[in-house]
Amino acid sequence: DLPMHQRGDAVSSMVYEANARVRDLVYGCVGAISSLQQQIDVLQTQLALAQAEVAHLRVRQNRPFSSYGPRPNSPTNSGFPSPKTLDSHAKPIFDMDMVMDHASYGSSMW
């Protein structure tokens, strides 16, 4: 009952589902879809962490350096404090102290 232009896609879909059922008798293509969804979830988490790190680094880069020596607009300042002027107990550039809103990610991360 499908229009002619959709019949090829329907046949391809049925062939895919049949081949998936041969490979996995219990789950069929649902197993493949579930596996791909898990991969998406992991990659979305990695992307969120990378974006958070970029945001954290941008905030650190734009922070004033008054306690570290020359001002950001000083010709002798490269935009980063000199290693000699940094406290030996300074926090690392990215120390995973960020807070994630678990509600915005739903159950896909947990």
Count of C-beta atoms within a 10 Å radius of residue 70: 15
Tokens of 8: 């090829």
Q: pTM value? A: 0.46
Average pLDDT over residues 51-70: 80
3-state helix, strand, coil in the chain (%, to 5): 60, 0, 40
Judged against a pLDDT cut of 70, whether residue 36 lies above it is answered with yes
